[in-house]
Amino acid sequence: MSNYTFEQIKETVLKWSQSDISKQLAGTDYVEITKNEEEILLIDLTFEYCLAQIVVSKPIFAPYQYVSFEAMTLESKRTQETGKPEMVYFFYDSADMSENEVLNEVSFGVKLCSEYIPDQLREMYLNKTGLLSIKNENLCHVMHPDDVKRYDKDLIVSDFVCTDIESQYLVVKNNLISLRILPQVFSIK
């Protein structure tokens, strides 16, 4: 169970957006609190190559407890080919997270969005072969949440090929499994 209530996390994220976030952002990035009401907090962020929104609410049906952070771009080749925005980053809190972990994740999202360059991951990793270097204690920090339970530590020694990019994750496959991982644990051969 999380160590925060809706009211606590809403107030914490609001304070963070008014002070800490300004330290992270460069002069071209922009933050706007578009809605601050009893039941919802909406923060819109504009970066050089993507738009993001942080939502703090009590959702009836959503993949998060109270906090969601989603960033999209219209600048990538995939977006231009499909005509649909491409997801750059996402984060959803859960009941097993602490308030500090939530703030760390939204800060990481702002950092990633500030540094985002369209198609950079695709150009660096797509169709490249490499190895995974994942420590089991860090699984939840480097692997897509849905893939953590599918991971087998013995897979580290086999070659993987990056077949796609989904948001901030590389989709890597070998002859046994497909996983979504963050780039820092994929070593190109």
Strands ordered across the beta sheet of 160-166: 178-181, 169-173, 160-166, 129-132, 186-188
Question: How far apart (Å, rounded) are the C-alpha atoms in residues 150 and 94?
Answer: 19
**Beta strands at 178-181 and 40-46: parallel, antiparallel or unpaired:** unpaired
Per-residue pLDDT reduced to its tens digit, 112-160: 898 899 999 999 999 999 988 877 666 777 888 888 877 766 555 678 9
So what's the pLDDT on residue 22?
Answer: 60
So what's the pLDDT on residue 146?
Answer: 82
Q: Indicate left, alpha or beta for 66 from its phi (over 0: left) and psi (-120 to 50: alpha).
A: alpha
H-type helices in 31-144, by residue range? 77-82, 99-115, 120-125, 139-142
- The predicted model scores a pTM of 0.84
Between 189 and 91, name the one with better pLDDT: 91
Reply yes or no on whether the pLDDT at 28 is more than 70.
Answer: no
As a whole number, the mean pLDDT across the chain is 87
- Start-to-end C-alpha separation, the chain: 41
Residue type, 60: I
So what's the pLDDT on residue 119?
Answer: 95
Please report, rounded to a whole number, the percentage of residues in the chain having pLDDT higher than 90. Answer: 57
pLDDT class of 25 with cuts at 50, 70, 90: low
3-state secondary structure 155-169: HHHCCEEEEEEECCE
Q: Residue 161: which of 146, 175, 148, 182 has the closest Cα?
A: 175
Please report, rounded to a whole number, the percentage of residues in the chain having pLDDT higher than 70. Answer: 89
**Averaged pLDDT for residues 41-57:** 94
Other beta carbons within 10 angstroms of residue 26's beta carbon come to: 9
So what's the pLDDT on residue 92?
Answer: 93
pLDDT class of 20 with cuts at 50, 70, 90: low
In a 3-state reduction of DSSP, which class is residue 43? strand
Question: How far apart (Å, rounded) are the C-alpha atoms in residues 104 and 108?
Answer: 6
pLDDT class of 34 with cuts at 50, 70, 90: very high
pLDDT class of 64 with cuts at 50, 70, 90: confident
Question: How far apart (Å, rounded) are the C-alpha atoms in residues 184 and 150?
Answer: 19
